[in-house]
Structure 1
Amino acid sequence: MPSLCTFRPQSRRHPLAHAALLACALSAAMPAARAQTSTAQAAEASSARHDYDIPAGPLAPALRRAASQAGVVLGFTPAQTEGKTTAGLRGSHTVGQALSALLAGSGLALVRTDSGSYVLQAAPVMAAPAQAGTLHEVTVKAQADRNGRTEGSGSYAQTGASTMATGLGLTLRETPQSISVVTREKMDDYALTSLSEVLEQMPGVHVSSLDSERTTYSARGFGIDSFQYDGVSTTINTAFSAGNSLGNTAIYDRVEVLKGAAGLLTGAGDPGAVINLVRKKPTAVPQKQITVGAGSWSNYRSEVDLSGPLSEDGRIRGRAVAAYQDQHSFLDGHQRSTAVLYGILEADLTPDTLLSVGLDYQDTDPRRSSWSGTRPIYDRYGGRISLPRSFNSGADWSGWQQTSGSAFASLTQRLSDKWKLKTAFNRQYNGYDAKLGSIQSGPYVDGSSTIFANKYVGRTKTDTFDFVADGSFSWLGREHELVLGGQFSRAQWTGETYANVTYPQRTVRDFYGWNGDIPEPLWGARSSAQDETTRQEALYAAVRLAASDNLKILLGSRVSNYRYAAPHSSIDLKKSGNFVPYAGLVYDLGNNLSYYASYTTIFKPQNYRDIGGKLLDPLVGKSYETGVKGEFFDGRLNASAAYFQIKQDNYPEQIADAFAPDGTPAYRGIQGVTAKGVEFEVSGELTRTVQVQGSFTHVKAKRAGSLVSTTAPANQVKLYTSYRADALLPGLKLGGGMRWQSRTYQTIMNYGLEREEEYSQSAYAVFDLMARYEISKQLTAGVKINNLFDKSYRTNIGFYRTTSYGEPRSVSVNMTYRF
C-alpha cells in the first residue's frame, strides 16, 4: 500500500518510564488492530446520500472535501494526485457514487485496507472504466472531520470549522471576527516547538519576554489573558505571568487566535484576543514517527508520536505523544529541560456517541533563571550600561521550576441528523517552586553591585465543565443554526512568598564579570500567602439566521455570575447577571468574497476601591469590527481585510492624595482606552507549490488623547512562505520568512539622575530560513536558521527598569522517521 502522506503528525519522545510504557502499549496494540465492518454497516453507509457542491479543479482537495463531508477515512500520497484534476460534483449522491465520479478518468481506484481505512491505488490497466455506484463499499467509521484539523493537510490555511467566536462550527469566512491560525504544517516546517515561537509568527500578536521564563502576549492594544482548550474556555490564574508561555507544541494540531472581545464564550477577560490550543486527535489509520533534533547552544530534542485504532473494529482509537528537550540558551549559564507526555483515547460507544478522554503533562526545570529582565538598564549614577547580549543577571541557583498538566473528557451525542449534544470536563493544574535571585541594580563606581532574592511556592487548579447543544432548524422556508450552552468553572491559586531573606553574601564584587556564583540565601519563614478563588457560571446562546441566500445574521448573548474571593486581602467580589451581547452579519459578495461586521463585549471585575470604599465596576471591553474576507482555490487560500475599534470603559484612575476607608489608594472609573486599527492577512496556497502566511497590522491605543500600550508596536508585518521545490530536487521544500515591527518605548525612572527618561527599541526586522527534504517515504530531514542576519534587538523595554534581548542567530537540524 502507498504511504499515507496526508497523515503526517509531528513525533514526540519522553524519557519518563510511564511515558515509555504508554507508548509501548499503544505501539503493540496498533499492529493487531483491524477494522472489520459488517455487511449491514457497509450497506447502510453506501446507501446513505449526502449533498455535495465540489467545483472542478485539482483532485486532491476535491477528495479531501468529499471525504470530510461523508466521514470517509481516506489516505493518499501527494504524488498519486499530482497534476490530476476532477470535473467536480454537485447534488445528492451516495458515498460510492460521489467518489467514483470524482475519480473518473484519474487512473486511480479506491480500496479498503485490513485496518478498515481506504487508500488510493492505480486502477488495473485492463479494468473497465469505473461507473458510478460500482465502487467497493465504503463505511463511515466516525463523524465527519469538521473540526478544522490541519494535521496532514500540507497547508498553512485552516479549511475546516472553528467554534471560537460563537460556539457554532463556522469557517473563517463565515465568522464575523478575525481569526488567525498557525497550522500543524507550518509548525513542522519552521520547527516551532513552543507556544511563544508560534505566537511570534501569529498575525497581529506581539510577544514580549519579561525574563528567561516569562513571556507575555498582546493584540490590538491589550494583553491576552484568555485561553481555550479544544474550544472550551478556561479560567486560569497563571501565577505571576508564568505557565502558558512555556507550553510545548508537541501535543497540538493548531493554534488559533480570535481577535477582539470574546465574551460570549470566554466570560471575564481583556478585549484584545483569546488563544485556542487545539490538541491532536487519534487517527483511524495507524501511524508512528520518531523525531530527533539538535541546535545551537547544545539544544537537543527527541519526540515520539503513536496513533491508530486499538480495537478490531476500529471503534476505539488512541494516541500517545511524548517529548523531551534539553535546551541551553545564548544567556550565560541558562538551560532548561522540558518533558512532555500526552495521551488520548476515543471510543465510538454507539454509531451516534463519541467518548474522548485524555491527559497531558509537562515538567519544566530551568537552571540559572533570570528574573525581572536579564540585566539592569542604568548604573547607580544614571549612566546606561553596555553589556553583551549573553549577560545573565540570574544566580546559578535561580530557577522557576514548574509542573503543569490537565485531565479532560468529553462526550458527544448525536441526537438526530441535525442536532448533537456535547459535554466536556477539563481540570488544569500548574505547580511552581521558584527560588529566584538576580542582579536588578547596576554597578557602583568600583564595579560592585548587589543581588536581590525571593522564593515563591504554590499551585493553581482550574475545573471547567461545559455543555453545548447545536444544530439546525427550518423557519420561513430556510435552514438556520442554533447553539445553546453553559459553563461552570472554578479556579484557585494558593501560594506562599518568602521575602524575609537572610543573605550569607549579597554583594557581587564584579558586576561585569558576573558568572552567577554566589551562595543561596536562607529563605526563613514565609512573608505572605496567596489564596484566591475565581468562580464563573454562565449560560449562552447564539443563532445564525439565513436571512437570504447571501445574508447571514448572527445574534447571541451570555448571562454569567462571577465571584472572586481573596481572604488574605479581605476581598469578596460578586457580580451577578452580567450580560454580554453578540451581533454580526456576513453578506456574500460572490463565490469568493464576503462583507462582515460584528459587535461584542467582554468584562473583567477589578478590586480597586473608590473614596467610599466601594469596588469599581468591572472593566468593560467593547469590540467593533468590519471588513472583507475572501476564500479562494476551493478554500485553500484565505484572505481578509479588517477595520476594528475596541473600547475599554471603567478604566481605573488613581485619585491623588485620596484613600479608601481601608487605607488603600482610592480610584475612580473613567472612560478608558480606545484602540483603533486595521489588519490584513493572507494564508494558504498561492500556487500548487507555494504556501504563505502574511499579515500587516496597525493599531494605536489612546486614553484621554495620549498613547498607551507603547511597549507593543503600532505596526507589524509578518510574512512566512514555503516552496515545494520538486522541480529542483524531488521531495525538497524551501522556505523563508520575516517579522518586522515599528518602534516601541516606555517612560521609566532613572533614579541615579532623579528623572524620568524614555527608553526605546527602534524598528527592526528578523529573517528566518528553513528547508525540509524527504529522503524517502519514511525519512525526512529538516534545517532552520533563525535570525539569519543576527539582528540585535530587545524584547523587554523597561520592565522593573530592566531589559531583555531577543535570541541571536541560531541553527537547528532535525530528522523524522515514520514506520
Structure 2
Amino acid sequence: MSKQTLKMFGSGLKWLFIFAIVLVFQPAKAQDITKFDSLVNRLRPVKTVQQVKPPQATRKIRQLSEIEPVITSAQMLLVQSPTPNNPPSQGDEVVQVTGVKANPTNQGVEIILQTTKGQQLQVINRTSGNNFIADIPNAQLRLPSGEAFTFRSTKPIASITEITVTNFDANTIRVTLIGESSVPAVELSDSPNEGLIFSVASAASVQQPQTQSTQPENQTQPKPSTQGDQPIELVVTGEQDGYNVPDSSTATRTDTPLRDIPQSIQVIPQAVIKDQQITKITDAARNVSGVTPLSGYGGFIDDYTIRGFTNYNVLRNGFASSDSFTYGANVERVEVLKGPASVLYGQFEPGGVVNYVTKQPLSSPYYAAELTAGSFSFYRGTTDLSGPLTTDKKLLYRLNVAYENSGSFRDFYHQEIFSVTPVITYKPSENTTLSFEYEYGRRRGSFDRGLPSGPVFLTLPVSRFLGEPSDFLNIDYQRGTATVDHRFSQNLQLRSSFSVESTFDNNVYTQSGTDFEPDGRSVLRGKIANLNRRTENYSWQTDLIGKFNTGSIAHQLLLGLELRRNTDINPIFDTDDIASIDIFNPVYGARPGTLNKRLFGTKINTTGVYLQDQVTLLSNLKLLVGGRYDFVFSDNSAKVGDADTTYTNFYDSAFSPRVGLVYQPIEPISLYASYSRSFVPNNATTFSGVSIEPSRGTQYEVGIKSEFFDRRLSATLAAYDITKTNILTTDPDHIEFSIAIGEVKSRGIELDVAGEILPGWKIIASGYLNDAFISKDNTIPEGRRLGNTPYHGATLWTTYEIQQGSLKGLQFGGGIFFVGSSITDPSDPFTVPSYLRTDAAISYKHDNWRAALNFKNIFDIKYYDNQGYYLVPQAPLTVLGSISVEF
C-alpha cells in the first residue's frame, strides 16, 4: 500500500471514528434514554409500555365538532402497543393501508389512513418541539399501484405547517404533524368503513369550546356547516417534494428502509431532478459521492464510473439493461447502489450500479405539463398524465410524452429527441396487481465524440469540432415490461416480470487521433460507421418473498430466478485515413476513402439463482445474508472483409455472496459492516487455449447511517476496500494473447447527506476520497491510478423556499460541483485538470403553477469530462427557463 493510500485511509478512518462518537453521544431524546439501563445491555433495549386507554371504535367518521375538546398538550387516546424499536411479533398481522385522505372540517382537518382493519392498528405517539409524531408498528402504506409512497400535505390548515405519512420501516407507518408555533392538537378514532382517523384542530378551534361554555345552557348552538366536510382526496404522487428518501428496493429487491441496509445506497429523487433542471438523466448521479457519469459515444451511452470501476450497463426497475441511451423523461428517481451488486443482478463491476426507477400510475387524477427553453437553442416540452380509468380504481394509467429540439455550444451540433411511455396497472383483486409498461424513444442528430486527450487540445475553444459536419447518430429504442404481483397472504408474495429491450442505431463519425502531420497543426483522422446495429435483451425474473419466524427471530426470505439473453449484431465500416484537419484553423469537407467492413456478433445467455434472508435478530440488530449462482454462456463471431467468420464460445459460472450486519444503538443511528463479491466474465483464452476464469471483485465496507431533525435529514458515512483480481494482462511471451494476473485496488471514504434542515430549507451534499490504483500488471507500473478516477470530489446543492407571507412559494437555490484531477488511461496517462462548477436557481410556485430559472456554470469556467481517450468539453454559462402546471 502506498504512503498516500495509508495517509488517506487513516484520515478517513479518523473522521469515521469522530463521526461515530458524535452520533452515539449526541444529546439523547427522552425516548432514547429509556433504552439504556447499562452499557452491558446496549444490545437489548429496554421495552417501555405506556398505560393507556384504547380508543372507542365508531361507525362513522367523527368530525371535531362532534367530540369533546381536544387536549392542547397533544396527548391522544392510545392502545397499549409496542414501540418502533420493539415491533409486534411475527404472528401479529401487518395491516395494509391502501390510501390516505385529507378531509377538511369546520374545526380543522381529518387525516384518514384507509383500511378495512382500522381497529387492529396499534398507535404510539410522542412530541418533539412543535412536532406531533405517531408510529403504527403493525402497518404498511401501500397504494393500489403496488408501490410504497409518501403522503405529504403542506399548510393544510392554519397553525399546521406540514403533515406527512410515510413508511418508517417495513412494518411501521409514521404520521408526523408539524405545528407552526406549538404542538398540534390531535384526536384519534377508527371506523370499520374508513380506517384510522387523526382529527386535527386548528389553533382557533382549540379555543372555541371555552367560548361556547360561557353561553346560556338553553341557547342553541349553531349547526356545523357540512360544506367543508366533503372529502378532498389529495394527490399522493409518490414523488417526494423533499430530498430525503427513506427506503429503496435496489439493494434487496424488497421495500427496505435505507437505514436497515448494510451497504451505501443513495437516491436522487424527483425533487432534486426538478430543482436542478436536469435534462440529461445521467447528470443526476453527479450528486452522489464517488460517482462519475461518462459522456462517451457522443453522450448517448449511460456509463458510470463508481468507486474507480466503470460499468457499461445499468438497471431499469431492477432489470439489467444495455448501455444504450436513456432520455429519462419517465424516470421517477435514480438509485445508486455502491459496491458489488452481483448477489442480486449477476455480472457487474464491483464499484456499484445505477438503477432507474420509472414513474408508475397514480390512484388519483394527475395532469402535468412543462415547457423549458434556454441557451444554445434548447427547447423541451413534457407532459405527465395519470389517474384511474375505471370508477373502482382497479385500472390505472400513466402517460409520459417528451420532445426536445436543441443546439449546442459545440460547432455544427443539433439534435431532436422524442419519447413516449404508457404504463397500465390493473388490480383484479386486493392481492393481485398486473402492470404493463412500454417505452419508445427516438433520437436524430449530430455525432460528437469530443477532443482527443492531450495538452494541446486543452488550448482549443470548447466549441472546436474536429469531425465533419455530416457526422450523425440516429437511435431508435423500445422497451417493454409485464409484471404480475400476487400476495397469497400477508407473509407470502410472488412477483414475476418479463422485460424486452430493443435498440437500433446508425452512426457515421470522424475519429481524430493524437498523431500530427509534420506541421504540428494537422491531426490525423479516420472515418467509422456503425450501420444497422441492433441489440436485443430479454429478461425474466421471478421472486418469491416469504416472512416467517424461527423462535423470536424474524425472517424475510427472497428466492429468485433470472433468465436473460443479450444479443448484439454490430456491422462496423471503417476507412483508410481521410484528410487531416488543422486544429487551429479547421477546413471541413474531407471525403472518406475505401470502406472496410467488419461484422461482430455476440449472444450471451445467463441463468441466475439467488437466495437472500433479511434476519431481525433483535429489534436493533439485523443481519442480511445472501448469494447468487450464475451460469453464463457466450457465443461470439467476427468477420473482417471477405475472410471467413471466426467463432469463439465461452462458459463461465460464479458464486457471488453478500453478508452484512446492522446495529442500531439508538433509533436514529445505524452502524453497519458488510462483505460482498462480484464477477465479470473475461471471455478470453490463454495461448494454450484454456478459458480464463472471470475477474472477481471483493469488497469490505463499514459505515454509519444517521437521521437528524426528526428524520428529515439523513447522512451516510462509509469506508470501503475493494480488490479486483484475475484481470487480463498481455502475455509477455505471446503478445496476441492474455493471462489473468492483473489486480487493482480501490480504497476510500465517502459522505452523503440529503434532506431538510428546516421547513423549506433542503440540501443534498457529498464528498469523497478515493485511491484506486493498479497493484499488479505486466506492462503498467504498479501504483498508477485507474483512468477517470478522481482522487477526491465534493458536491453541495441547497434550496430555500419561503413558507409564508406574500412571497410564499419563492425558492432560491445554488450549488457547487467539484471534481478532482484524473488521468485518462493508465497505459498512456494524461492528466485532466480538476474543476469547480457553480450553479444557481430561482423559482416561484403559486397554486398549481411553477416558473423557474436555472443558471449552470455561472462563472463560465472551462472544464472537461474525462472519457479516457477523449476529452468531452462541457457547456459554458447556460440559462434554462421553465414553466409548468399541475392539475
What band does the TM-score fall into relative to the shorter chain? 0.7 to 0.9
1:262-341 → structure 2 map (5 Å cutoff): 262-341=341-420
1:471 is displaced (CA, Å) by 3.0
Distance 1:539 1:361, change over 3 A: same
1:212-611 → structure 2 map (5 Å cutoff): 212-214=298-300, 216-230=303-317, 232-236=318-322, 238=323, 243-244=324-325, 247-367=326-446, 369-371=447-449, 373-375=450-452, 377=454, 386-440=459-513, 441-442=515-516, 444-445=518-519, 448=522, 451-457=525-531, 458-500=533-575, 506-507=578-579, 511-514=583-586, 516-519=588-591, 521=592, 524=595, 527-568=597-638, 569-576=646-653, 578-611=654-687
Task: After superposition, give the CA deviation of every residue in 1:180-230 in whole Å (9 maximum; x if it has no partner).
Answer: 111001101111121222122233211233463356420111112342222
Distance 1:618 1:194, change over 3 A: same
Task: After superposition, give the CA deviation of every residue in 1:727-772 in whole Å (9 maximum; x if it has no partner).
Answer: 57211111111111222124689xxxxxx7x522333211111111
Establish whether residue 191 from structure 1 lines up as the match of residue 277 from structure 2.
yes
- SS for the counterpart of 1:193 is coil
Tell me the equivalent position of 1:808: 876
Establish whether residue 644 from structure 1 lines up as the match of residue 720 from structure 2.
yes
Alignment counterpart, residue 853 of structure 2, candidates 767, 770, 783:
783
CA distance in 2, matches of 1:323, 1:64: 40
Tell me the equivalent position of 1:742: 820
CA distance in 2, matches of 1:538, 1:788: 48
- Number of aligned residue pairs: 716
Distance 1:747 1:307, change over 3 A: closer
Give me the identity figure in percent: 23
Confirm or deny: 8 A CA contact 2:500 2:539 kept in the other structure: yes
Return the letter of the residue paired with 1:561.
F
CA distance in 1, matches of 2:396, 2:335: 25
CA distance in 2, matches of 1:540, 1:454: 42
CA distance in 2, matches of 1:546, 1:259: 23
Alignment counterpart, residue 172 of structure 1, candidates 246, 258, 262:
258
Distance 1:747 1:605, change over 3 A: closer
Distance 1:385 1:340, change over 3 A: closer
Establish whether residue 818 from structure 1 lines up as the match of residue 880 from structure 2.
no
Tell me the equivalent position of 2:771: 700
Return the letter of the residue paired with 2:544.
A
Alignment counterpart, residue 201 of structure 1, candidates 270, 273, 287:
287
Confirm or deny: 8 A CA contact 1:211 1:374 kept in the other structure: no
Confirm or deny: 8 A CA contact 1:337 1:366 kept in the other structure: yes
Return the letter of the residue paired with 1:721.
T
1:561 is displaced (CA, Å) by 0.9
Tell me the equivalent position of 1:658: 734
Return the letter of the residue paired with 1:612.
S
- SS for the counterpart of 2:258 is coil
Tell me the equivalent position of 2:700: 624
Return the letter of the residue paired with 1:456.
N
CA distance in 2, matches of 1:724, 1:268: 43
Return the letter of the residue paired with 1:199.
A
- SS for the counterpart of 1:82 is strand
Establish whether residue 691 from structure 1 lines up as the match of residue 781 from structure 2.
no
Tell me the equivalent position of 1:112: none
- SS for the counterpart of 1:101 is strand
Confirm or deny: 8 A CA contact 1:53 1:91 kept in the other structure: no
CA distance in 1, matches of 2:352, 2:204: 48
Q: Structure with the greater relative contact order (CA < 8 A, sep ≥ 6): 1 or 2?
A: 1
Return the letter of the residue paired with 1:583.
V
Tell me the equivalent position of 2:738: 667
Confirm or deny: 8 A CA contact 1:555 1:583 kept in the other structure: yes
Alignment counterpart, residue 101 of structure 1, candidates 198, 208, 216:
198
Confirm or deny: 8 A CA contact 2:340 2:697 kept in the other structure: yes
Tell me the equivalent position of 2:55: none
Return the letter of the residue paired with 2:341.
A
Establish whether residue 714 from structure 1 lines up as the match of residue 795 from structure 2.
no
1:703 is displaced (CA, Å) by 2.5
CA distance in 1, matches of 2:867, 2:404: 29
Confirm or deny: 8 A CA contact 2:132 2:184 kept in the other structure: no
Task: After superposition, give the CA deviation of every residue in 1:45-97 in whole Å (9 maximum; x if it has no partner).
Answer: 26563344565357799799999637599674445442644679999976889
Return the letter of the residue paired with 1:268.
Q
CA distance in 2, matches of 1:509, 1:255: 41
Return the letter of the residue paired with 1:212.
G
Tell me the equivalent position of 1:36: none
1:583 is displaced (CA, Å) by 0.5
Task: After superposition, give the CA deviation of every residue in 1:416-445 in whole Å (9 maximum; x if it has no partner).
Answer: 012211101111111110111244354652
TM-score, scaled relative to structure 2: 0.75
CA RMSD of aligned residues (A): 3.4
Confirm or deny: 8 A CA contact 1:164 1:258 kept in the other structure: yes
Q: Which of these two proteins has the greater Rg computed from alpha carbons?
A: 2
CA distance in 2, matches of 1:64, 1:784: 41
Confirm or deny: 8 A CA contact 1:482 1:544 kept in the other structure: yes
Distance 1:89 1:639, change over 3 A: farther
CA distance in 2, matches of 1:154, 1:162: 17
Return the letter of the residue paired with 2:116.
A
1:549 is displaced (CA, Å) by 2.3
Ranges in structure 2 where 5+ consecutive residues have no aligned partner: 1-112, 163-177, 207-220, 639-645, 776-781
TM-score, scaled relative to structure 1: 0.81
Confirm or deny: 8 A CA contact 2:122 2:136 kept in the other structure: no
Task: After superposition, give the CA deviation of every residue in 1:400-428 in whole Å (9 maximum; x if it has no partner).
Answer: 21112201110110110122111011111
Return the letter of the residue paired with 1:256.
E
Confirm or deny: 8 A CA contact 2:744 2:772 kept in the other structure: yes
Confirm or deny: 8 A CA contact 1:269 1:602 kept in the other structure: yes
- SS for the counterpart of 2:444 is strand
Distance 1:646 1:748, change over 3 A: closer
